[in-house]
Amino acid sequence: MNDTTDNHDAPHDFIRDQIRKDLASGSVKTVVTRFPPEPNGYLHIGHAKSICLNFGIAEEFGGRCNLRFDDTNPAREEQEFIDAIQDNVRWLGFDWGSDVKYASDNFEQLYQWAEHLIKAGKAYVDDLSADEMRAYRGTLTEPGRNSPHRDRSADENLDFFRRMRSGEFADGAKALRAKIDMTSGNINLRDPVLYRILRSPHPRTGDAWCLYPTYDFAHGQTDAIEGITHSLCTLEFEDHRPLYDWLIENLPVPSRPRQYEFSRLNLTHTVLSKRLLTQLVEQKHVAGWDDPRLPTLAGLRRRGVPAAALRDFIARLAITKSDSTVEAAMLDHFIRELLNRTAERRMAVLRPLKIVIENYPEGEEELLEAVNHPGDPDRGTRRVPFSREIYVERDDFMEDPPKKFFRLGPGREVRLRFAYFITCTAVIKDSSGAVTELRCTYDPATRGGNAPDGRKVRGTIHWVSAKHAVVAEVRLYDNLFTHESPGADGDFLAHLNPESVEILPKCLLEPSLRQTAADNAVQFERLGYFCLDPDATDDRSVFNRTIGLRDSWAKAQAKP
């Protein structure tokens, strides 16, 4: 091989291979791609696959990638979505250069091209209603029938079309259709609608237009205007390609984009469809588009998922021609792997149980050295306050522990992380018999966590000093759906997980967590990775659990 741009680490898939060929043959000089969301909802992790592919290819081949809003249906599109999408793409780590593109920038040109088709006898104005059109369209096994209006003269069509533009007809009363072939085996070629009348203010063009191009008419021509060389989309558009090609062939467009279709990302235990996500948000099954349980980029971000972990995950997905579903546990694995490297360790107690260390002097306190990252000594240490009253995790105590339980129990000795060995000497209960407090003694000789006499303890538990602790609300998230493919056997809402969020209002954190920055992930030792939630204020700490520590996916991969 004498292709100097090639190297072993460069990603390979059928699209990149095509691009290498096009560059080598000279048929393409500069690769231009685009990510074309419709601003009718927030982006989800499926979109991230398309974003990473389009922007990634532009970067790898020294080309460029446009962010273009396919804003052809004002009935469902909103400025809020336009803003959120830009924010999400930037957060994911990509840059579209100086200006955002909009299909609506080309409304006048698209309109002129529609007239061009009419004049050439390749489009006509139809009076059939949407229902009638559907009935005339035929089915996969039956050919369609020609509309009674199909043979109007070019002049008559032009006159009607211009009057459509000037607002003479009611919404839905007329439509412009391509004149292709009502008997085509590809239903997309059975005289598809190119323009419909729709009185709905547009986020960008206001009420300048009362007719809008369909997505199918706008899409390929907008690609051509932007000089897109490789128009990448998901497999459901494969059957639309002959229509896009027909339009490009019959219009005086400035360039000829080629479309390539790839498999969409599907993920278990969630839904990746804007329609279903919209329903979850609008019907308030979740708290909003950025609810940390959603697979939206805004939700993932709020949950504390680093953009780099998403990119790592997506880099491992196959770009192929066959759809498949990826296990949510694989995404979790990449999140965990990154956070394990980047997140500093802290101590926090989620379900506190009080301990009084009876032989520790009243009123005294000290600072103990704690390492910030066991795998990275450069992260240094911090000092954690210790005193006579501490809290530990309720789960780390059992009154009648089985043999294999190495944490606290009556008479048992454990290590407090970075501190001392303690031994439980008494259990205090309320009138209902519930344990409310433990009494312990500590061994001053074990400061730092080792006994000079070489005595061993099997368990090490985390703790926080009662009087220094920061009180925080901690939100634990689980899958939003209990079913692997929600709705597979009926209503997807029936599979909503009633326990997808658990709110713990009174958790106790070591004091250094008061200074956590909004974008900083931390590991609460033995519990998982957490991040500050935007609901937090100067005097109210709120943390989200991004993910627990246990990696089921990596274990499953390791099995023979």
Beta bridge partners of 424: 440
- The token pair at 210 is 């009362």
- Of 274, 302, 345, 346, the catalytic one is 274
Cα–Cα distance measured from residue 226 to residue 220, given in angstroms and rounded to the nearest whole number: 10
Least Cβ distance, residue 277 to ligand ATP (angstroms): 7
Active site residue 274: yes
Active-site residue, from 137, 165, 264, 351: 264
Count residues near ligand ATP (CB under 6 A). Answer: 15
Positions 271 through 310 that interact with ligand ATP (CB under 6 A): 272-275
Strands 413-416, 460-461: pairing is parallel
Give the integer Cα–Cα distance in Å for 91 and 101: 19
- Give the helix/strand (H/E) hosting 18: helix 14-25
Q: How, if at all, do strands 541-547 and 470-477 pair? A: parallel
Pick between residue 280 and residue 464 the one whose CB is nearest to ligand ATP.
280
Q: How far apart are CA 394 and CA 89, in angstroms?
A: 42
Q: Min. distance of Cβ 61 from ligand ATP in angstroms?
A: 19
Q: Which is nearer to ligand ATP, 267 or 521 (CB)?
A: 267
Would residue 238 show up in a list of annotated catalytic residues for this protein?
no
Which of the residues 374 through 403 are near ligand ATP (CB under 6 A)? none
Using the minimum distance from each CB to ligand ATP, give the nearer residue, 180 or 233. Answer: 233
Kindly report the length of the chain.
560
> Does the footprint of ligand ATP cover residue 47 (CB under 6 A)?
yes
Interface pick for ligand ATP out of 15, 32, 50, 244 (rule CB under 6 A): 50
Q: Which of 370, 54, 393, 404 is nearest to 230 (CA)?
A: 54
Name which of 144 and 295 has its Cβ closer to ligand ATP.
295
Sign of torsion over alpha carbons 14, 20, 25, 27:
positive
Give the integer Cα–Cα distance in Å for 414 and 58.
Answer: 56
Among 38, 60, 115, 337, the active-site one is 38
Structure tokens at 316: 């491992």
Q: Is the dihedral of CA 338, 342, 347, 348 positive or negative?
A: negative
- Residue among 175 and 233 whose Cβ is closer to ligand ATP: 233
Residue nearest to ligand ATP (CB): 46
- Binding to ligand ATP by CB under 6 A, coded x per residue (else -) over 179-218, reads ----------------------------------------
If the CB atoms of residues 32 and 438 are measured against ligand ATP, the closer one turns out to be: 32
Of the ranges 172-180, 269-277, 307-315, 415-423, which one interacts with ligand ATP (CB under 6 A)?
A: 269-277
Burial class of residue 537, CB neighbours in 10 A (0-12, 13-18, 19+): exposed
Catalytic site includes residue 38: yes
DSSP string, 190-249: SS-EEEEE----BTTTBTS-SEEE-HHHHHHHHHHHHT-SEEEEEGGGGGGHHHHHHHHH
Stretch that binds ligand ATP, among 36-44, 389-397, 414-422, 489-497 (CB under 6 A): 36-44
Dihedral of the alpha carbons of 291, 292, 295, 298, in degrees to the nearest 10: 70
If one asks whether residue 38 binds ligand ATP (CB under 6 A), the answer comes out as: yes
Q: Which residue is associated with the tokens 């009076």?
A: 127
Q: Among 103-111, 268-276, 492-500, 537-545, which window interacts with ligand ATP (CB under 6 A)? A: 268-276
Closer by beta carbon to ligand ATP, 123 or else 265: 265
Q: Which of 15, 46, 280, 313 binds ligand ATP (CB under 6 A)?
A: 46
Q: Are strands 258-262 and 230-234 parallel, antiparallel or unpaired?
A: parallel
Tell me the closest approach of the beta carbon of residue 81 to ligand ATP, in angstroms.
Answer: 9
- Give 38 or 473: the residue with its C-beta nearer to ligand ATP: 38
Phi, psi of 66 (to 5 degrees): -90, 145
Q: For ligand ATP, what does the binding mask look like between residues 224 and 263, x meaning CB under 6 A? A: ---------xx-----------------------------
Interaction between residue 73 and ligand ATP (CB under 6 A): no
Residues that bind ligand ATP (CB under 6 A): 36-38, 46-47, 49-50, 233-234, 264-265, 272-275
- Return the active site residues: 38, 264, 274
